[in-house]
Amino acid sequence: MAENADLVRQLRASNRKRRLVSLGLVAPLFLFLLFSFGFPIGTMLWRAVADEEVGRAFPQTVVALASWRGTEAPDEATFRTFVRELKEARANETLAPAARRLNYDVSGLRELLFRTARRSLAADLPSVKDALLKAEPAWGEIAYWGAIRNAAGPVSMFYMLAAIDMHIEPTGSISAKPEEASIFIGIFGRTFAMALIVTLLCVAIGFPVAYLLASLPKRLASALLLLVLVPFWTSLLVRTAAWVVLLQNNGIVNHVLVDLGIVSEPVPLIYNRFGVFVAMTHILLPYFILPLYSVMQGISPNYMKAAASLGATPLRSFVKVYLPQSAAGITAGCLLVFTVALGFYITPALVGGAADQMVSYYIAFYTNTSANWGLACALSVWLLVATFALYAVYSRLVGGSKGPLP
């Protein structure tokens, strides 16, 4: 019994040591993923809902406005608190970020806040409300007070709603922005439409290529596969710049078209939607061909021969036998191309026009130019939601399929 107990103890110690070694091996990868993927995603999610500037500058005003109904200007006590905190915010330098945040909601509110702060109204006047309304009648509009109340923080749906052209009314209800102020729904629609068209172009071009590679002898297929892989290994910026050279008015493509007599003068092939489709399709084509080719390699030619021996025509054999077995590769390729296309930035920026920019362009704009990190993160979150939704659809389709024939 004592020997058995020692053996069990040694076995447990050995297993524990093996688990520690395994944990030590995967720990660097886990930390790398945590800091390179988890931390940026977590920060992006937080910045999309963080709304702390106004609450930090006007802590008691937002508390006083919490019970405000939003149908008329607030009461005297709220005005008095606001005027006092406006002076304090200007003194402790919290007014500027709060004013910038409020101006995102109501245009002109930043200027109104600073103009009011410069007036330095005394908070002990008999009626601060009357004095402020006389000096700045704009404070009688409920939209300004509603913006302050809705930005109480520390979190809100302001940026997430703004990213889909919706906003919070002074009464607290959520509504769509006027048509002339709606921007992002059209941009999202354009982004999804362009990604879908590029995906369809990749299917139309990539399927015959993958089928050809899967049908050829292995040595010849490997040689031809390099034609797909070499551009794939080339820098994205280099490939995009190459299309700028090829498609410009004095480029090779226009020279060939003119020399062949197809057109009488150079046609605009770049800085428009056509140039974006051409460049994106070329760049994303390997993302469709490679997963489809790996699936097609596993399809035995005996199935097509068996269908032919049973009297099926080549077209019927292809549609009824080959195509269903390659469905997993088509689905994976489409999902990969569509997902990557959704986040394209460099190619549309270089070869597209002003009306051809996708959501990523505006994320970069709000990050680098206007420093509106909240809206940039909210746009990113909606793109992330779309990606997860596509992945869920893909998992359901693949999980529900019966897979290749045995």
| Residue 253 sits in the same domain as residue 350 | yes
pTM confidence score: 0.81
So what's the pLDDT on residue 382? 92
| Contact in structure between 85 and 61 (CB atoms under 8 Å) | yes
The whole-angstrom separation of Cα 110 and Cα 100 is 6
Indicate the length of the chain as a whole number. Answer: 406
Q: Which residues pair with 174 in a beta bridge?
A: 168
So what's the pLDDT on residue 112? 92
| Residue 389 sits in the same domain as residue 272 | yes
- Tally: H helices and E strands in the chain: 22, 2
Q: Which residues pair with 175 in a beta bridge?
A: 167
Q: Which residues pair with 176 in a beta bridge?
A: 166
| Contact in structure between 188 and 163 (CB atoms under 8 Å) | no
pLDDT tens digits in sequence order for the chain, 406 residues long: 666 778 888 888 888 888 888 888 888 888 888 888 888 888 888 989 999 999 999 999 999 998 888 788 888 899 999 988 998 998 888 999 999 999 998 889 999 999 998 887 776 778 888 888 888 899 998 889 999 999 987 899 999 999 999 988 887 888 888 888 888 999 999 999 999 999 999 999 999 999 999 988 888 888 888 888 888 888 888 888 899 989 988 888 999 999 988 888 888 988 899 999 999 999 999 999 999 999 998 888 888 888 888 888 888 988 888 889 998 889 889 989 998 999 888 899 888 888 888 999 999 999 888 888 899 999 999 988 888 888 887 777 766 554 443 3
| Residue 187 sits in the same domain as residue 166 | no
Place of tokens 């200027």: 111
| Contact in structure between 45 and 159 (CB atoms under 8 Å) | no
- Final residue in a domain of this structure, among 181, 214, 246: 181
Tell me if 24 is assigned to some domain: no
CATH code where residue 376 lies: 1.10.3720.10
- Final residue in a domain of this structure, among 181, 215, 232: 181
| Contact in structure between 381 and 45 (CB atoms under 8 Å) | yes
Residue type, 56: R
| Residue 163 sits in the same domain as residue 282 | no
Q: What residues contact residue 236 under an 8 Å CB cut-off, 6+ apart? A: 283, 346, 347
User: Virtual CA dihedral for 372, 374, 375, 381, nearest 10 degrees?
Assistant: 140
Tell me if 393 is assigned to some domain: yes
**DSSP structural state of residue 166:** E
| Residue 164 sits in the same domain as residue 238 | no
- Final residue in a domain of this structure, among 152, 181, 210: 181
**DSSP structural state of residue 337:** H
| Contact in structure between 307 and 324 (CB atoms under 8 Å) | no
| Residue 227 sits in the same domain as residue 353 | yes
Tell me if 145 is assigned to some domain: yes
Which helix or strand (DSSP H or E) is residue 406 part of?
none
So what's the pLDDT on residue 404? 43
| Residue 278 sits in the same domain as residue 382 | yes
How many distinct structural domains can be found in the chain?
A: 2
| Residue 162 sits in the same domain as residue 221 | no
Tell me if 345 is assigned to some domain: yes
| Residue 194 sits in the same domain as residue 291 | yes
Residue type, 172: G
So what's the pLDDT on residue 121? 73
| Residue 172 sits in the same domain as residue 226 | no
| Residue 190 sits in the same domain as residue 126 | no
Residue type, 44: M
| Residue 233 sits in the same domain as residue 102 | no
Place of tokens 């794939």: 232
Shortest CA distance to 83 belongs to which of 29, 119, 52, 56? 119
The whole-angstrom separation of Cα 373 and Cα 363 is 9
User: Please, how many CA atoms are within 13 Å of residue 390, restricted to the half-sphere of its CB?
Assistant: 21
Shortest CA distance to 376 belongs to which of 390, 362, 397, 395? 362
Could you list the residue range(s) of the whole structural domain that residue 141 is in?
52-181
Tell me if 58 is assigned to some domain: yes
**DSSP structural state of residue 179:** G
Tell me if 209 is assigned to some domain: yes
Which helix or strand (DSSP H or E) is residue 199 part of?
helix 184-215
